[in-house]
């Protein structure tokens, strides 16, 4: 079986570089099914060896944050790659699948162009998360939304993954719902690492700002006073993932009903986001108010015994366990790379009311929250929609 031909768009950025490391990780695990045939970046990077740009970026971060940043090494199997232009015809000539790690403005133009040319696009950007025909996928939670791609008229299909904050807590919500717990509301407080901001953090002005213990660096949302972009995403993207709504119109109607104190299809989620001086990993305090009394022991059991759906469990990027549960708060040193960085560690679960539990989750923003999740979506797509790959995935399923 020939490997699929894969493009990484935005390969030199924070998320893109981790997509390159994922390629190496899959090869080391002997679970490889793709060859990276095309890599793109911004206009000033075109024509340069991928390794040179990658190492330059990592060195700049290690210099800017010497106390917390260790430059990551370049995957040597990709030494032959040179950064190419973002020309949709060229991309379609060299690749059939693309992982998009582009800013949303750039993604908005190129992603549909690629789909029209038959390239299947797995996007980390927010550009099309609210397109009603595009699944917003966290494979363990809503793998059953994948058939939505059949509504897309283009020969190439587009699939998005949610923002990294949502990716870090929505599986917890799903796990409780799986065992029949009804959730009344969620209060989220995040402490997000620097890498979530992308390579802009190497800018000297940003470096100066990042000497504070905690700060907020998202744009305020014009249409939602008191809410920033990240708070908006982590309050509303979960609604589409949980299947409570499918379109922006339904979202607007739900928000309006909430504001008027009327019943709404939305799960009430309030979010406060912060940035902290950590290299990787988002720590999130998740307060869950249940409709009925729920206790710490029960929550620990639900998370420890949570089974990943069999449609997803055998995919090369899926971890063995979705959750690890710790007594105290999760630790960056010990827990961030659990399950290859695809597991979520939940700890310090406390009773803060008969109906309310408080817990801390730690997730890897680039892996569970970005390009590794995109690759997991690609694997799900291959296993369900591409006949040629049935046997490969069937074998993985048998060998589990
Ligand atoms: N960082 C995270 O934790 C994270 C998590 C989830 C989702 N995301 C999403 O992933 C996307 C990338 O984020 P990031 O943090 O990796 O950003 P980043 O570090 O700023 O990387 C941006 C990438 O896009 C390229 N680029 C910039 N302008 C371009 C243009 N005009 N044409 C083509 N390529 C261009 C850059 O190339 P150069 O090297 O040439 O500048 C770089 O490769 C964003 O949509 C973000 O919201 C990020």
Q: Comparing 263 with 241, which gets the higher pLDDT?
A: 241
Do 351 and 229 share a domain, yes or no? Answer: yes
Residues 221 and 136 placed together within one structural domain of the fold: no
**Three-state secondary structure along 296-318?**
HHHHHHHHHCCCCCHHHHCCCCC
Evaluate: CB of 16 within 6 angstroms of ligand 1: yes
CA 225 to each of CA 94, 220, 222, 320: distance values in angstroms, whole numbers, following the listed order: 45, 8, 6, 41
List, in sequence order, the alpha helices (H) in 101-247.
104-116, 139-142, 164-178, 204-209, 229-241
Q: In total, how many domains does the chain have?
A: 2
Ligand 1 nearest-atom number relative to CA 127: 45
Determine the length of the chain.
400
For residue 391, the model assigns a pLDDT of 84
- Compute the 3-state secondary structure of the chain and give helix, strand, coil in percent, each to the nearest 5: 45, 20, 35
Kindly state if the Cβ of 341 falls inside 6 Å of ligand 1.
Answer: no
pLDDT above 90: residue 395: no
* Interval between CA 304 and ligand 1 midpoint (Å): 35
Are 249 and 167 a contacting pair, CB within 8 Å? Answer: no
| 126 Cβ contact list (under 8 Å, min separation 6) | 104, 160, 163, 233
**Is the CB of residue 170 less than 8 Å from the CB of residue 263?**
no
**Do 189 and 103 share a structural domain?**
no
Give the model confidence (pLDDT) of 286-297 as tens digits.
Answer: 999 999 999 999
Residue 63 in tokens: 């210099």
**pLDDT tens per residue across span 321-347:** 999 999 999 999 999 999 999 999 999
Tokens of 341: 């960085």
Domain that includes residue 170, residue range: 164-363
Expressed in angstroms and rounded, the spacing between residue 163 Cα and the centre of ligand 1 is 13
Mind listing the pLDDT tens digit for each residue in 62-112?
A: 999 999 999 999 999 999 999 999 999 999 999 999 999 999 999 999 999
Segment 163-215, tens digit of pLDDT:
999 999 999 999 999 999 999 999 999 999 999 999 999 999 999 999 999 99
Question: Tell me: the pLDDT tens digits for 242-255?
Answer: 998 889 999 999 99
For ligand 1, whether the C-beta of 12 sits within 6 Å is yes
Q: Which of 11, 42, 51 for a ligand 1 pocket mutation test, highest count of atoms within 8 Å of Cβ?
A: 42
45 lines ligand 1 (CB under 6 A): yes
What local confidence, expressed as pLDDT, does residue 392 receive?
87
Ligand 1 centre to CA of 287 (Å) is 31
CATH code of residue 392? 3.40.50.720
Clarify whether residues 103 and 137 are in a common domain: yes
Contact between 194 and 65 under an 8 Å Cβ cutoff? The reply is yes
pLDDT at 44: 95
pLDDT at 398: 83
pLDDT class of 378 with cuts at 50, 70, 90: very high
Share of the chain above pLDDT 70, in %: 100
- How high does pLDDT run on average in the chain? 96
My answer on whether 78 and 154 are in the same domain is yes
Side by side, the strands of the sheet bearing 34-40 are 83-84, 34-40, 4-9, 97-100, 120-123, 158-160
- Cα of 263 vs centre of ligand 1, distance in Å, is 39
CB of 374 shorter than 6 A to ligand 1: no
Residues 216, 82 share a domain: no
CA-CA-CA-CA torsion sign (378, 149, 99, 324): negative
User: Are 40 and 123 in the same domain?
Assistant: yes
Q: What confidence score (pLDDT) does residue 68 get? A: 96
Cβ 370 under 6 angstroms from ligand 1 = yes
Which residue lies with its CA nearest to atom 26 of ligand 1?
42
Q: What secondary structure does DSSP assign to 232-299, as a single string? A: HHHHHHHHHHTTS--SHHHHHHHHHHHHTT---SSPPEEEEEEEES-SS-EEEEEEEEESS---HHHH
pLDDT over threshold 90, residue 282: yes
Q: In this model, does residue 390 exceed pLDDT 90?
A: no
Whether the Cβ atoms of residue 167 and residue 269 lie closer than 8 Å to each other:
no
* Strands 356-363 vs 282-290: parallel, antiparallel or unpaired: antiparallel
In short, whether 166's Cβ falls inside 6 Å of ligand 1 is no
**Alpha helices (H) along 29-136:** 50-64, 88-94, 104-116
Q: Is pLDDT above 90 for 313?
A: yes
Find the 15 Cα to ligand 1 centroid distance in Å: 7
Q: Is the CB of 86 under 6 A from ligand 1?
A: yes
Q: What tokens appear for 273 in the block?
A: 């986001």
CA 200 to centroid of ligand 1, rounded, Å: 9
Please report the atom of ligand 1 found closest to the CA of residue 10. 43
Q: Are residues 279 and 352 in the same domain?
A: yes
Q: Give me the half-sphere count of Cα atoms (radius 13 Å) on the Cβ side of residue 137.
A: 30
The average pLDDT across 237-266 equals 92
Residue 25 is predicted with a pLDDT of 97
Residue 397 pLDDT > 90, yes or no? no
CB of residue 101 inside a 6 A radius of ligand 1: yes
Q: Is the CB of 106 under 6 A from ligand 1?
A: yes
**pLDDT at 393 (0 to 100):** 86
Does 44 lie in the same domain as 61? yes
pLDDT at residue 1 is higher than 90: no
- Determine the atom of ligand 1 nearest the C-alpha atom of 365: 3
Q: How confident is the model at residue 224 (pLDDT cuts 50, 70, 90)?
A: confident
Q: What's residue 325's pLDDT?
A: 98
Nearest Cα residue to 383 out of 319, 298, 316: 316
Ligand 1 lined by 123 (C-beta under 6 Å): no
Q: Are residues 114 and 220 in the same domain?
A: no
Which CATH number is 173's domain given? 3.30.360.10
Summarised one tens digit per residue, pLDDT across range 4-28 is 999 999 999 999 999 999 999 999 9
Q: Which residue lies with its CA nearest to atom 31 of ligand 1?
A: 42
Average pLDDT over residues 358-387: 97
Instruction: Note whether 88 and 173 are same-domain residues.
Output: no
Q: Note whether 182 and 117 are same-domain residues.
A: no
């Amino acid at each position: 079986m020939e490997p699929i031909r894969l493009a990484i768009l935005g390969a030199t950025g924070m998320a893109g570089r981790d997509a390159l490391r994922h390629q190496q990780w899959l090869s080391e695990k002997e679970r490889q099914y793709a060859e990276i045939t095309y890599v793109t970046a911004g206009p000033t990077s075109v024509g340069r060896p991928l390794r040179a740009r990658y190492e330059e970026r990592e060195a700049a971060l290690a210099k800017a944050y010497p106390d917390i940043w260790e430059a990551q090494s370049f995957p040597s199997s990709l030494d032959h790659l040179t950064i190419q232009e973002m020309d949709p015809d060229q991309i379609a000539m060299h690749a059939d699948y693309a992982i998009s790690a582009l800013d949303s403005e750039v993604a908005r133009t190129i992603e549909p162009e690629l789909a029209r040319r038959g390239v299947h696009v797995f996007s980390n950007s927010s550009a099309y998360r609210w397109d009603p025909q595009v699944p917003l996928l966290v494979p363990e939670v809503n793998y059953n939304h994948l058939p939505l791609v059949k509504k897309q008229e283009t020969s190439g299909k587009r699939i998005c993954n949610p923002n990294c904050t949502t990716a870090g807590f929505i599986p917890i919500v799903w796990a409780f719902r799986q065992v029949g717990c009804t959730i009344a509301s969620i209060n989220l407080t995040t402490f997000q690492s620097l890498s979530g901001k992308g390579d802009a953090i190497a800018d000297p002005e940003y470096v100066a700002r990042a000497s504070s213990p905690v700060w907020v660096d998202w744009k305020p949302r014009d249409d939602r006073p008191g809410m920033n972009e990240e708070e908006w995403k982590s309050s509303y993207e979960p609604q589409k993932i949980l299947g409570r709504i499918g379109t922006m119109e339904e979202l607007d109607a739900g928000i309006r009903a909430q504001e008027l104190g009327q019943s709404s299809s939305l799960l009430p989620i309030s979010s406060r986001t912060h940035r902290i001086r950590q290299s990787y990993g988002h720590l999130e305090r998740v307060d869950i108010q249940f409709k009925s009394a729920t206790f710490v022991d029960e929550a620990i059991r639900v998370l420890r015994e949570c089974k990943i759906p069999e449609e997803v469990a055998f995919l090369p990027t899926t971890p063995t366990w979705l959750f690890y549960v710790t007594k105290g708060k999760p630790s960056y040193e010990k827990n961030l790379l659990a399950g290859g960085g695809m597991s979520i560690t939940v700890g310090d679960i406390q009773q803060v009311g008969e109906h309310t539990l408080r817990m801390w989750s730690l997730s890897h923003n680039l892996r569970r929250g970005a390009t590794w999740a995109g690759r997991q979506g690609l694997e799900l797509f291959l296993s369900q929609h591409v006949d040629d790959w049935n046997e490969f995935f069937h074998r993985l399923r048998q060998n589990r």
